[in-house]
Amino acid sequence: MGLLVDGVWHDQWYDTKKSGGRFERQASRFRDAVSADGSTPYPAAAGRYHLYVAMACPWAHRTLIFRHLKGLTDAISVSAVAPLMLSQGWELPPGADAVNGATALWQVYVKAAPDYSGRVTVPVLWDKETGRIVNNESSEIIRMLNDGFGDLASGPDFYPQALRPEIDRWNDLIYPNVNNGVYRAGFATTQAAYEEAFEDVFTTLDKLEAHLAGSRWLCGDTQTEADWRLFTTLVRFDAVYVGHFKCNRRRIVDYPALWDYLRALYQAPGVAATVDLPQIKTHYYGSHATINPTGIIPKGPDLDFSQPSSRAG
């Protein structure tokens, strides 16, 4: 996992020494928005925008799900990087990038900002017209896909006005403790930092289990963005985070309500096609040499997300 310094690529892992062994995620740098009302420099338009994603990445996975659920698959094109992230970072297979012809994602960043310094991450929302990155923050991209494309989009509103305070409260709990919590555990380089993150992960999963035992979705009977933001971590948990990131107190299949909830989300029309467990496992176990130096990819576990769910339908 490298980074750019003044537009020059460096193959460099995270430095956790100055943070006491704690993994600290860099804030996203491109924060513009697509708008349906012309209030931003990036108006909604079919065929103008392009997503760079990784099938393995939970942050990019959010955007693929919203692109599908909001009926934007024909309006927004996609390039998927290769699963392994090695000395060149995220690489693009031959012919994968019909927009910029890049072979590595850092080249896309440099094209948008020649002196860019920072990590090169997915997802990236690219504007074909201006040749710029609109945004590389997944939480903001899914909001754009939800309501920034106007009549081009369809499907339910996943951030309804009346539920926004509740959705925001769930996001504020789940992001640091679960979505990023598994990374804080997996990328920690001291025992104390790992145990701190580990406890945050499972304290929060326990709270979610208790809540979902009596609620169909996080916000009652309304499915919202908070559910999908949680889903992309849950669907990776037993296959990767339990073993690779040492989040092994319990699996999701050991939580009756969370396991039922996860299956219901997975079974939503079209969502299963966005989940690629072989790529997910290849990426994590094959890319993080500091954690898994042999690069051996586990064959298991056997997970059946197609089992009937009491919440489906």
- Select the more confidently predicted residue: 8 or 25: 8
Asked if pLDDT for residue 17 goes beyond 90, the answer is no
pLDDT of residue 21: 82
Residue ranges making up the domain that contains 74: 3-152
Active site residue 183: yes
Q: Given the residues 57, 109, 219, 285, select the one marked as catalytic.
A: 57
Whether residues 176 and 236 share a domain: the answer is yes
Residues 7 and 91 in one domain: yes
Q: Which of 30, 184, 197, 226 is nearest to 121 (CA)?
A: 30
- Do the Cβ atoms of 252 and 264 come closer than 8 Å? no
* Rounded Cα gap, residues 138 and 135, in angstroms: 8
Q: Quick check: 108 and 93 in contact, CB under 8 A?
A: no
Band of residue 1 on the pLDDT scale cut at 50, 70, 90: confident
Catalytic residue at 219? Answer: no
The mean per-residue pLDDT over the stretch 277-302 comes to 97
Residues β-bridged to residue 217: 220
Distance of CA 191 to the CA centre of its chain: 26
- For residue 58, being part of any structural domain is answered with yes
Residues 16, 113 within the same domain: yes
106, 242: one domain:
no
Residue type, 197: A
**Shared-domain flag, residues 119 and 178:** no
Beta strand segments in the chain, E: 3-5, 8-10, 34-35, 42-43, 49-53, 77-80, 85-86, 89-90, 118-119, 124-127, 132-135
Please indicate, yes or no, whether residues 29 and 130 belong to a single structural domain of this protein. yes
Is the pTM value of this prediction over 0.75? yes
Same domain, 48 and 71: yes
Judge if 20 and 105 occupy the same domain.
yes
Is residue 62 assigned to a domain?
A: yes
The confidence score (pLDDT) of residue 27 equals 85
Please check whether residue 12 lies inside any domain of the structure.
Answer: yes
Last residue of a domain, one of 85, 119, 152: 152
For residue 91, the domain's CATH number is 3.40.30.10
Tokens encoding 304: 């059946």
For residues 212 and 227, give the distance between their C-alpha atoms in angstroms, rounded to a whole number: 11
187-232 pLDDT, tens digit each: 999 999 999 999 999 999 999 999 999 999 999 999 999 999 999 9
**166 shares its domain with 211:** yes
Write out the two tokens for 18: 């100055």
| DSSP 8-state secondary structure symbol assigned to residue 267 | T
Q: What's the whole-number mean pLDDT along residues 54-78?
A: 98
Span 113-141, pLDDT tens digits: 999 999 999 999 999 999 999 999 999 99
Whether 200 and 92 map to the same domain: the answer is no
- Cis omega (within 30 of 0) on the bond before 301? yes
276: in domain: no
Is 186 a residue whose pLDDT tops 90? Answer: yes
Q: Please list, in sequence order, all residues whose beta carbon lies within 8 angstroms of the beta carbon of residue 161, skipping any fewer than 6 positions away.
A: none
Point out the catalytic residue in the list 14, 159, 175, 183. 183
> Residue 158 — very low, low, confident or very high, per pLDDT cuts 50/70/90?
very high
Letter string b/e over residues 93-125, b meaning 16 or more CB atoms within 10 A of that residue's CB: eeebbeebebebbbbbbbbbbeebebbbbbbbb
Whether 38 has a pLDDT exceeding 80, the answer reads: yes
- Tally of domains in the chain: 2
The answer on 109 and 19 residing in a single domain is yes
How far is the C-alpha of 144 from the C-alpha of 140, rounded, in Å?
A: 6
Identify whether residues 267 and 173 lie together within a single domain.
yes
* Res 240: pLDDT: 98
Above 90 in pLDDT, residue 16? no
Q: CA nearest 84: which of 274, 289, 286?
A: 286
Q: Rounded to an integer, what distance in angstroms lies between the CA atom of residue 46 and that of residue 67?
A: 12
- Residue listed under structure tokens 């920034």: 148
**Does residue 311 lie within any of the structural domains?**
no
User: Is residue 313 situated within a structural domain?
Assistant: no
